[in-house]
Structure 1
Amino acid sequence: MPEISPRPLAELTTLRTGGTPDRMVEAQTTGEVVAALRDVWATGEPWLVVGGGSNLLIGDEPFDGTVVLVRTTGIERLESPCDGFARLRVQAGHEWDDLVAFAVREGLGGISAMSGIPGTVGAAPVQNVGAYGQEIVQTLVEVDLIDEATGEVSTVPASELGLGFRTSVLKHHYGSVPARSAVILSVTLDLPVIGAGATTVPGDQLRAALGLAPDDAVTLQWIRETVLATRARKGMVLDADDPDTYSAGSFFQNAIVTAPFARTLPDECPRWPMAPDLDPVVVIPLEEYTGLVAPPTSSEPDVKVSAAWLIEHSGLRKGFKLPRSRAGLSTKHALALTNRGGASAGELAQLARFIQQRVQAEFGLILQPEPVLIGVEL
């Protein structure tokens, strides 16, 4: 097993926190990942898989277990059974933005709006990454993964991953355990073949973000460059010289609330109705049919509201810091908690709790953290 000298996890996470683990394995191939995980699971000791480290807040104490660094890379282009699409199988350790850049060069759409998102491909389905109206659920076909319960490798279709808004059955939500404890080994996507020329852009949210009218035609490369520039202005593109990027991106999820609750919020709070669930098909056996069918029930769809707006309008502006703390809100984006230099995980957690309390006091809801928290309590 490719065991290496343990490094502080603060060197491997974008929030720059985390102690040194007992053991560390750097896996360069799928076989090494599988072998390392089976070995660790057999011992029953704590374990942690790290890819890009961009969605982790890890505590300051040494990690009492084994950290597996997934460093597998590679993109394989396959023939898609769907006309007008190309199928890509990508190794879990491949950097997500490198995949987006590859797709754009090849004239493949579906993920260009997710340019600049840090992290690795294997982490993308875990929280159903997305930006500007595009989510990986729209293009994901299947994943290869290894289950902790059995140690077996299997191919799992996207439909079995429970993909929702920044969630899946694989995600370790704060205060709970994943519905399925498993590690992704590779990801398979079907992407539409767009080409290098200009074309219209589907999706109201993406067009609005890009400042486009429905009939405007642009190239995939233009979309990528525009999204990267937009994210950079918000401090959401990693830059070693910019402390605003020492973050986990959006620390809190945009809140999903009921339509009646959304109406209690100020009209100025940005909100987006979630797609309503379609009424299920009702099948009545012929021998049981009486000529009457119960009328369908309908309900208002839930509403997604802007966590950044809630934070700023609870009185916490960009750049806010608690006294004597080295953690602070980004000076560019109120949704990013940043390590301003040498901040501990405890300082970041203290700031996160303060934000939650202010938003709850002002608007009556508790923001939920988006990163995975290891050895840290809010």
Structure 2
Amino acid sequence: MNNEFQEKLHLYKEGKLTPKEMIEIEEEIDRFIAIQDYLDNDEKKFFEELKQQIPIQQKEKNKNTRIIKRKVNLRILTLTTITGLCIGTLIIALYILASNITTSLFELDHKEAYVERATIVQLTEIFHPQYDSHRSGVQKLPFAKQNFVVSLQNFLGNTLIDESSISIRYNFGKPKKLQGSTKELQLLPIDDPSWIDNPEYSLLSGFDPLQNAPSGTKAKIFVGFNRALTPQQIKKNFMNPLNIDFNDITPLVTIDSKYIIANASYYQFTPVFPYDANNAEQLEDKPLKLSQYENMDNQAHQESLIGNLNLIKNNKRLLQIMYYQDMFEDINIDAIINQVENEGVEYIGMYISADSKELLKLKDNPYIHFITVENIVIW
């Protein structure tokens, strides 16, 4: 606004302008007002746009912040997961590596495990003659641990009378403890061994269940002799009259009048790994010896018992784990072996499985002190 316009505006306010000048100044004033209104409207529009833009920018900013946070959290979660997986994998790898190293250094290898399993089976047949021990195995566990399992089955004919098992845990190649079994296994009792040498001890009433049994039944009996008998005497006085073979009987001996055991065939036991060519020579005589043993040869039974006694002597710790802590601690097994070497094998009794009525033929046998019927089943 120049000075001339200001002077005219002043004169306009005082009413000193001509009508023409008044019209001109009013037109100028209207033009100024129009310009001012335009500027005011433009400014309002600008501020409105500015107001509208501010929330949008803030929203975009908040959205970007959430996206960044989500990416950071996802990255942290991913890194944590990967770290956890790496640590877990490392722990598992170290566990497996440590287990493999321990196993390779201390565990029984397949050859040693084969012989150890065979030893447990043989001892089981010696101390549990009422059972068959045809099934056994080895379960491998981490860190040089192994479970040796022997299944025990009491069959009469085709009937399963009873079954159990023995499971022994080995740690670092040594027997550690007896695992749970299907039932408590007891050794054969010998609380009163006087019947072996006492001719007045007799209990022939044990034949009564056989007389009352119907035809077509099979029985398993325990026979106690009135004096110790050699293998050949058993064959002559028991096996031949009943027309049975070795598979139907289990002769029993005593150890120091404290244990009754079976003289399980040592020729079926393998003290070395049989599939190693270096061991072939040690096993080549076994088939012949086994045949002689099953034919009740005195010499074969003597050698079998000596082998079993040595097996017991060399595995006292294993037997103490299988049964009780001080087993055989007070028995001189070497002295018993010397006695067998000098005097041979003499049995004090045996299990017999045969037809119930056929077993009645033993009623007049002069070598029987007593019998007890263990089981009777239909064929």
| TM-score clears 0.5 | no
TM-score (norm 2): 0.24
Name the larger-Rg structure: 2
TM-score (norm 1): 0.24
